[in-house]
Structure 1
Amino acid sequence: MVLWVVLLCTLVSSLLGGLYVLGVFRRQRPNEPPLDKGTIPWLGHLLEFRKDSSEFLKRMQSKHGDVFTVLIAGYYFTFVMDPFSFGTIVKESRSKLDFRTSATQLVVRVFGYKPIEATHSIVHTSSIKHLMGDGLTVLTQATMESFRKLLLFNLSSGEKRVWQEENLFHYCYNIVFRAGYLALYGTEPPRGAGGQEKAEEQDRLHSNQLFQEFRKYDRLFPHLAYALLPPKDKREAERLKRHFWNVLSVKNVWQKDNISGWISDQEKLLAENGVPEYMRERFMFMLLWASQGNTGPTAFWLLLYLLKHPEALKAVRDEVDKVLKESGQEVKAGSPPVTVTRDMLNQTPLLDSALEETLRLVAAPILVRAVLEDTSLRTSTGTEFTLRRGDRVALFPYISVQMNPEIHEEPHKFKYDRFVHPDGTRKDFYRNGKKLKFVSMPWGAGVSTCPGRFFATAEMKLFVFLMLSHFDLELVDGEEEIPAIDISRWGFGTMQPVRDVRFRHRPRF
């Protein structure tokens, strides 16, 4: 009898525990935001959220207001949709709202890297040193050399002005990824007779092979991040991880010449902090995706928008030509390709605005903080909500700011000069007469702002600058509509097109 009582109590306890995990007993407490758990235990709104995050959040906002809590795959997310309340979230102390918790879970699942306590400070310190200021000048020079090797290496031979047709997305992603990879992770050392030429050819071959494998992993990334991969894809993801861990192994990386300080410093600092070699290889893979996973796709969208808007293409190209002329350089047959410096990239306000406009239209990160203790949130309207310990608080600037017609007039249209006045100075933006601090947030905000944003911007601008200065460009089908966005990648950076766009290019001289 006693045994049956024990078994029954165990069963009931397990059942109640299971129901608790599934969210059955969750109730809205006083002062908490409206709660919407959906109809499916534990999963909650996951399926609808994954299908179309934007439309789902619009529906929740219409139903509940600017602050609401929803259940998604076992986690309760409180979304804050009022842009004037963003500052309260991004400035809150880490002891209350911590961005590292979700980030740590993601990098373990996706890259196999387990961060140590010093990881964040190592990345932050190295990024300030090498991806900003004088360090960025050096890295921009290295990236320029990579583009010369990949994009411009045969132009000085007097190549005929014939049209070459390419897939625009693949072309942009391929060239930008490879240039960034070579600039960061180093180049093949020259050996023997004809060493430099052979080394450059090896760099072109190896970087292209690496890009093909990277694209395979990139396609799996969204479902891998949500732990939704079927068994076959999961096995493929594990194979690709091992491949990159090997290619980016410590012994392979240190055999290269011209390794960037950003890579070498972080590798050394991790070793000094006792991180084993196999884990440092996983860290190198994480850095590769973080630095190169979104720059190529963004370059695609920027070039596509310029090609679809002739007035924008002409204005930005005129600006590029003006900067080249002032630097004393000219694009002509038989001459070496131009050299673009960081100072030259700092003289392109229209290109800056066109890039920012592109990011406004296509970049949709979800900024997440883990709630470590019950925290009071006071909105811009004066309403106070309590964020519950153990939940997540999230911002989705794509809806709240970037596509908000109260902030950006005709938000679905590409306006290359949206962010700049005719004199080159930056515009301010307002909502209901009140100036906004956050008008586009592709790089995150606060302590979680992307530390590599300046290098990523320089890399994309450099690519477009060289394309506009050295090539005539046109779409194969000028009447083709701009492709829709692949919403499956929302929350993880710039989104990919769902269908091919083909373009033609030829030497401009």
Structure 2
Amino acid sequence: MAALNVWIVGTLAALSLSLFLLLKIRRRREGEPPIENGWIPYIGCALEFGANPLKFLQIRQKKYGDAFTCKIAGNFITFITDPFSYSSVIRHGKNLDFQTIALKISRRFTTFIIWFYIIYRSQEALKAVKNEIENLLCVTNQKPGDINNPIIFTREQLDSMTAMGSLINESLRLSSASIMLRVATEDFVLTLDGGAKLAIRKGDQIGLYPQQLHFDPDIYEDPLVFKYDRFMDENGREKTTFYKNGRKLKYYLMPFGSGTSMCPGRYFAINEIKQFLALLLCYYDMELLDASAPIPLLDNSRVGFGILQPSHDIQFCYRLK
């Protein structure tokens, strides 16, 4: 009898849990994008997404199209994967709140070690940047090594360093893995670039994952290959024109976010990197201890929070000039 009671209690508990989980599964309403709840309660697709967000989104884009909703750690996130529709999301500022997410997420800008490793692996890139610095030193009548007259570059002079700017942008393209999230403050309809209309529920999130844009071979030829001059045109000026399927893109590089939530210190950060790199090359001779070593993998534990760091330290030697 005791065994029977245990069996009955266990069966009822299992049925109750199954009913609870069944009721918690979201059903797709008319006008909503395809939805994937995942197979683990509350967790949803979080484990698969966290393991490799880029692959996760690429697979679902092929399966569902340019918009789909996934349950991730209790949140329903509608991902928009068409870069031409990013403007549609950004324009809906009155329906989407960034502050709720911003309070939960903080990011650090850590690209120094990434571009340092890359530039010392590419003699062509190193030569281009050094020439740019030497020309600027000549124009400004400055010389490294003068303790009484430290090298100083103005913002305008830093802005003129297009080769260095292109190198930094390429480093950001390869290492940036932030995710942009907006919380829907009310039920509303989001119209995509192609005219499709999506019903978005209050409390859901809209997600943009720029790494998918940065690694798109239709936009960037050989997207996994570092090309220091990728963001320079044939005249040596900054290149700001990129296309997908024959159409010009408004958003092609997004390491600092977009819209009203775009990092307000982005220009300071870029000039900080330029200044640091310029002074480093002016005052020090540096080289990698093992220039033939494979490029370290990026640490995916920070996926969604900004710049990915190398998985291990990079050994180098230096001396004062």
TM-score, normalised with respect to structure 2: 0.90
Q: Structure 2 vs 1, CA of residues 65 and 327 (structure 1 numbering), >3 Å: closer, same or farther?
A: same
Distance 2:267 2:146 in 1: 33
Partner-residue secondary structure (3-state), 1:71: strand
Offset of residue 97 of structure 1: 1.0
Partner residue of 1:425 out of 237, 260, 264 = 237
The residue aligned with 2:114 is 301
Offset of residue 380 of structure 1: 2.0
CA contact (8 A) 1:69 1:78 kept: yes
Distance 2:223 2:303 in 1: 18
Relative to its length, the structure with more helix (as a share) is 1
Alignment of 1:98-247 (within 5 A): 98-104=97-103, 106=104
Unaligned residue ranges in structure 1 (runs of 5+) = 1-11, 108-288
Partner residue of 2:251 out of 429, 435, 438 = 438
CA contact (8 A) 2:25 2:37 kept: no
Partner-residue secondary structure (3-state), 1:308: coil
The residue aligned with 2:193 is 380
Q: Does 1:463 align with 2:299?
A: no
Partner-residue secondary structure (3-state), 1:506: strand
Q: Does 1:492 align with 2:305?
A: yes
The residue aligned with 2:4 is none
**1:183-242 deviations in whole A, cap 9, x for unaligned?**
xxxxxxxxxxxxxxxxxxxxxxxxxxxxxxxxxxxxxxxxxxxxxxxxxxxxxxxxxxxx
Offset of residue 342 of structure 1: 2.0
Distance 2:120 2:150 in 1: 23
Q: Which amino acid aligns with 2:236?
A: G
**1:163-185 deviations in whole A, cap 9, x for unaligned?**
xxxxxxxxxxxxxxxxxxxxxxx
Partner-residue secondary structure (3-state), 2:102: helix
Aligned residues: 306
Q: Does 1:84 align with 2:84?
A: yes
Q: Which amino acid aligns with 1:101?
A: T
CA contact (8 A) 2:176 2:307 kept: yes
The residue aligned with 2:7 is none
Q: Which amino acid aligns with 1:357?
A: E
Distance 2:92 2:56 in 1: 27
Q: Structure 2 vs 1, CA of residues 389 and 23 (structure 1 numbering), >3 Å: closer, same or farther?
A: farther
Partner residue of 2:175 out of 331, 346, 362 = 362
Offset of residue 337 of structure 1: 3.4
CA contact (8 A) 1:23 1:41 kept: no
Distance 2:23 2:216 in 1: 33
The residue aligned with 2:30 is 30
The residue aligned with 1:19 is 20
Q: Does 1:475 align with 2:281?
A: no
Q: Which has the higher contact order (CA 8 A, sep 6+)?
A: 1
CA contact (8 A) 2:189 2:200 kept: yes
Partner-residue secondary structure (3-state), 2:24: coil
Partner-residue secondary structure (3-state), 1:350: helix
TM-score, normalised with respect to structure 1: 0.57
The residue aligned with 1:317 is 130
The residue aligned with 1:326 is 139
Q: Does 1:413 align with 2:225?
A: yes
Unaligned residue ranges in structure 2 (runs of 5+) = 1-12
Q: Structure 2 vs 1, CA of residues 25 and 333 (structure 1 numbering), >3 Å: closer, same or farther?
A: closer
Q: Which amino acid aligns with 2:166?
A: S
Distance 1:423 1:479 in 2: 32
Distance 1:423 1:323 in 2: 18
Q: Which amino acid aligns with 2:182?
A: R
Distance 2:147 2:85 in 1: 57
**1:230-277 deviations in whole A, cap 9, x for unaligned?**
xxxxxxxxxxxxxxxxxxxxxxxxxxxxxxxxxxxxxxxxxxxxxxxx
Distance 1:23 1:408 in 2: 44
Q: Structure 2 vs 1, CA of residues 371 and 54 (structure 1 numbering), >3 Å: closer, same or farther?
A: same
CA contact (8 A) 2:177 2:304 kept: yes
Q: Does 1:453 align with 2:305?
A: no
Offset of residue 377 of structure 1: 1.8
Q: Structure 2 vs 1, CA of residues 395 and 483 (structure 1 numbering), >3 Å: closer, same or farther?
A: same
Offset of residue 457 of structure 1: 1.1
Distance 1:472 1:443 in 2: 31
CA contact (8 A) 1:23 1:42 kept: no
Relative to its length, the structure with more strand (as a share) is 2
More displaced 10-residue stretch of structure 1: 26-35 or 417-426: 417-426
Distance 1:482 1:423 in 2: 31
Q: Structure 2 vs 1, CA of residues 35 and 318 (structure 1 numbering), >3 Å: closer, same or farther?
A: same
Offset of residue 409 of structure 1: 0.6
Q: Which amino acid aligns with 2:82?
A: D
